[in-house]
Chain A
Amino acid sequence: MTTLDHTRTVSAVTPVTDNYLTHTRGFLSWAMTLDHKRIGIMYMVSVLTSFFVGGVFALLVRTELLTPGQTIPGVTADLYNHFFTLHGAIMVFLVIIPSIPAALGNFVLPIMLGAKDVAFPKLNLFSYYLWIVGALCVVASLVLGSFDTGWTFYTPYSTRTSAGGVVPVLLGVFILGFSSIFTGMNFIVTIHKLRPPGMTWFRMPLFLWATYATAIIQVLATPVLAITLLLVVVERVTHIGIFDPQWGGDPVLYQHFFWFYSHPAVYIMILPAMGIVSELIAVHSHRHIFGYRFIAFSSVAIAIFGFLVWGHHMFTSGQSPLMNTVFSAITFSVSIPSAIKVFNWLATLYKGSISLNTPMLYALSFIVLFSIGGLTGIHLGALAVDIHLHDTYFVVAHFHYVMMGSALIAMIGGLHHWWPKMTGRMYNENWGRLACVLIFIGFNVTFFTQFLLGSQGMPRRYYDYQPMYQTYHVVSTMGSYLMAIGFGITATYLVHSLFRGKRAPANPWGGRSLEWQCSSPPPHDNFAVTPRVGDCYDFSVIEWDEREQGYVVRRDKDPELRGHHATGQAGTAGGH
């Protein structure tokens, strides 16, 4: 009990027995749970399952591209079109968008606030079930003939294609959108209303700032996507002309609507990732984050500017040169807050005490990969250069560096960082480091090659290609296999740790924010009494405790917390 109180110890030998995992038992205790931690875990399992499925499609796409023309027997151009579409749609709508906010965010956010749950626990469970319904719609689409529209559902192809699963998947994405909106609303209210004593806005962990900025985008942008996709369904079913010129519609209008959501959606993916990296870098180098306010404000700035740049996806669409110019100019303004964050993370490493463990390696990978993804964004923001690069593999490489190399890598890093907290078990560090290195190398082999492929002129979404591009494709595919091995190792040692892993102390890394001050795994209520917090990046008050085999936060050493330290989750563990 009461790990908040440094004077009480939790023995590693006799761990806290009451925790959220064992609090109640049985299928219904999970299916009907209102506990944000259990909902977070269910999201995590669902998202990782989807990631596996999306990954299989990615490997099929890469394998098919080993040679020009048909490579895998039976995979025709049509089937290939379904593969890359499914890969994109699953990874974007079922994996990356919900991964950090809904899975990790749900688990960590209320504990970071010292709260017992999110503001609206029932809404939280409802949004999980909406996710499930959305995912079932995607499955229904697969049964009914799948879809080959690309994840962007561009009209008029999407209103005309004979693939039978277009309407179900559009409805699925519509429903997933509501899941995302409700999670965002929940987080906004939770952060406004449930912050603990002492946590002013500028005392919040940066992960919370990032989640907050993300939630605002989720609430404001997602409805636009929802109504747009609904209009495509209406047009496809009733032939009312909205986006298809054969019925009097305008296909470019669709692109405006779609990117008005889908560009901010890129920030739904990357902002929480940046939040995680801010935590990881600070905690694993035991060093006060550098330039807290600049990082916090840059999250908000990115969220706001992100709404004004959608037109940069449409430089070749035929929109007027004046609009292209304006969108290009605003696009560059987004690059500045991103650059600031990278410099701040580097400065945080300076004079730190850097532990090169698995979560930190993922955070460092993030910085490298995000730098490449961000810097190549400059090529694409510059009008004249984008004309050449648009819709080639250069763009494919660029957004994989941002979505996968950054957002997903940060998510995996966060998963390792909070794994001991979620499961109460430690994973094997050496396997963790090895897998991270394999994934990092595999990723770069796969996608850096695609920059060259794209700038040499290879268009995206091609089943067949000219032989001059084959070498690049072969190298890229080999990289994807290496990544698959890395992820395979990760899955293996994580599952292994659940059964055989060493029991995790409350605070294995020396974290300072509240989630490291309750036991691992946390008790059902997180904290019996809402704790007071100080500066969550002040690492001068953490100390290694041999008996715990972990760190403790010496609350008595923090002048702001003195006298407030006896407020643990009394009564949850008993026996002391």
Chain B
Amino acid sequence: MLPILNAMIASAGTTPASLWMPPQASTVASEVDFLFNFITWICYFFFGLIVALLVYFCWKYRRSPESHAGNTVGPTHNTTLEVVWTVIPVILVVIIFYMGFNTYIHMSVAPKNSYEVQVTAFQWGWNFKYPNGAQSDDLFVPAGRPIKIIMRSNDVLHSFFIPDFRVKKDVVPGRYSTLWFEAPEPTGMEAFHWLFCTEYCGTGHSNMNRKVHVLNQAEFDDWLEKQSRWLDDIPADELYFKAGPKLFARCSQCHTLDGIVGTGPSWGKRDGYTGADLWARTESGETRFADGSSLKDFIGPGKEFETPEDYFRQSILNPGRHLVNGYGNAMPTFQGQLNTTAIDALIGFMKHLDEFDSKGQFKGAAPAAATTP
């Protein structure tokens, strides 16, 4: 009886996980769970009834192995009984349909004063954009306030799912989709709820998960303010190691630093190249493209890219222009997601790869790295 009691007692707070359901952390969760448990208890009842009758009949009317009884006589139909066992399920499913409909309508209509977060899904990650222009990779929301999520996809289908909130909606390329929730209890910066992608989207599908932090309003405002200008506060010569690793976290979905082949080319040493890493082979123009040309043909004064930095900038904003030999057109554009400062920080990070470990953690400035990034 515990799950159903839980659901009935639960008001709006966070309720711990039960056998069937994860913790309840949104205002609709207890409603959804109540219905889930209601149906589950109906299932227990009918399943128990079916199995009990089945076992009882099989035992009571079993044929002994030696017997070859041919004839048995029992009723072949009974209209009253058959009507009864048709009508009872009909009544039950009508009730269940109505309950499901009711809660669903509540879940479908976002309250008027909702706080809006713009969400972009791509292969394979999420980008969250807040009204003041701040962006983040994990989702941060204020507690006790309805949040409306407005979603779009850069490529294929994705689906936005937060189990603890009981909300889910597909993200469909070519159209906006929305959902809303309200999380009454803050988790703080440490604790979080999981956000999963639940529509199959290829290689990185199962790693397309993010943390959802619920903050109280003051904490959220503070975070939002800092988030909108986190790059601006970092001195230019510290950008590459203070902002670089954070920005690289998103690139690391496809690019490694240790030469292991990912969805995209590794930034570390690659087989078949003499350059020690990405910067070396770009500077020397050694990089080979899928069409047989190499970067040498495009880089230099008066050519498509004036400097190696130009090549990186274009590769981030228009990644399909030149495809590195051996790799498909899989990278999304980061136009509108990374500003000039962020791109500078990433390029600086690429130039100083020897100062980072294979996970992108800063090890400390190399002695010769006194030059500006």
Contact = CB atoms under 8 A, between A and B. Distances in A.
Interface of A: 77-78, 81, 148, 150, 154, 156-157, 160-162, 245-246, 250-252, 285-294, 316-318, 321, 324-325, 328-329, 332-333, 335-336, 339-340, 342-344, 346-347, 349-356, 364, 367-368, 371-372, 375-376, 378-379, 381-388, 390-392, 452, 455-457, 459-466, 510, 537, 539-544, 551
A387 B72 contact: no
Contact of A462 (B77, B106, B206): B206
Given A371-B50, A385-B39, A544-B70, A356 B62 contact: yes
Contacts of A350: 57, 61, 74-75
Contact of A384 (B100, B177, B197): B100
Contacts of B155: 156, 160
A291 B287 CA distance: 75
Nearest to B29: A388
A352 B175 CA distance: 59
B62 A354 contact: yes
- How big is chain B's contact interface, by range? 35 or more
A350 to B, nearest CB: 6
Given A382-B96, A551-B70, A464 B196 contact: no
Given A371-B50, A376-B43, A384-B103, A287 B169 contact: no
B211 to A, nearest CB: 11
Contacts of B159: 316, 391
Given A328-B97, A336-B86, A291 B70 contact: no
Interface stretch (B160-168, B235-243, B244-252): B160-168
B72 A286 contact: yes
Nearest to A550: B68
Contacts of A333: 93
Contacts of A540: 70-71, 73
A258 to B, nearest CB: 13
Nearest to A346: B53
Interface stretch (B17-25, B224-232, B274-282): B17-25
A372 B46 CA distance: 10
A291 B36 CA distance: 33
Given A352-B57, A540-B70, 13 more contacts: A81-B200, A285-B61, A325-B104, A328-B97, A356-B62, A364-B54, A378-B42, A385-B39, A388-B163, A388-B168, A461-B200, A542-B70, A544-B68
A457 B163 contact: yes
B93 A335 contact: yes
Contact of A251 (B20, B47, B166, B173): B173
Nearest to A320: B108
Contact of A551 (B32, B68, B85): B68
A457 B194 contact: yes
Contacts of B106: 384
Interface in B182-198: 194, 196-198
A55 B105 CA distance: 41
A457 B161 contact: yes
Contacts of A466: 194, 209
B198 A251 contact: no
B166 to A, nearest CB: 4
A384 B104 contact: yes
B187 to A, nearest CB: 16
A379 B39 contact: yes
Contacts of B22: 456-457
Nearest to A553: B70
Contacts of B100: 328, 381-386
B9 interface: no
Interface of B: 17, 19-22, 28, 31-32, 35-36, 39-40, 42-43, 46-47, 50-51, 53-54, 57-58, 61-63, 67-78, 81-82, 85-86, 89-90, 93-94, 96-97, 99-108, 155-157, 159, 161, 163-164, 166-170, 172-175, 177, 194, 196-207, 209, 328, 330
A375 B103 contact: no
Nearest to A246: B173
Nearest to A250: B174
Report, nearest first, the 4 A-B pairs whose CB atoms are least far apart.
Answer: A457-B163, A245-B174, A382-B100, A544-B68
Contact of A324 (B42, B104, B168): B104
A389 B68 CA distance: 49
A354 B69 CA distance: 10
Contacts of A390: 168, 198
Contacts of A162: 328, 330
Contact of A354 (B31, B43, B58, B198): B58
B205 A290 contact: no
Contacts of B172: 251-252, 317-318
Contacts of B102: 384
A460 B159 CA distance: 12
B70 A150 contact: no
Contact of A349 (B43, B57, B90, B207): B57
A349 B58 contact: yes
* Central interface residue in B42, B47, B76, B103, by most chain A CB within 10 Å: B76
A353 B173 contact: no
Contact of B32 (A245, A352, A388): A388
Contact of B198 (A77, A290, A459, A465): A459
A387 B104 contact: yes
Contacts of B93: 332-333, 335-336, 378, 381
B72 A383 contact: no
Nearest to A314: B170
A291 B31 CA distance: 39
Nearest to B105: A321
A335 B328 CA distance: 47
A48 to B, nearest CB: 29
Contact of B77 (A290, A381, A452): A290
A452 B40 CA distance: 12
B318 to A, nearest CB: 16
B43 A378 contact: yes
A342 B207 CA distance: 42
A83 to B, nearest CB: 13
B16 to A, nearest CB: 12
A194 B155 CA distance: 54
Contacts of B39: 378-379, 382, 385
A64 B86 CA distance: 44
A355 B54 contact: no
23 contacts: A157-B201, A245-B173, A251-B174, A294-B77, A332-B93, A340-B82, A340-B85, A350-B61, A352-B72, A354-B63, A375-B43, A378-B42, A378-B96, A384-B106, A388-B167, A390-B168, A390-B198, A455-B36, A456-B21, A461-B200, A461-B206, A466-B194, A544-B68
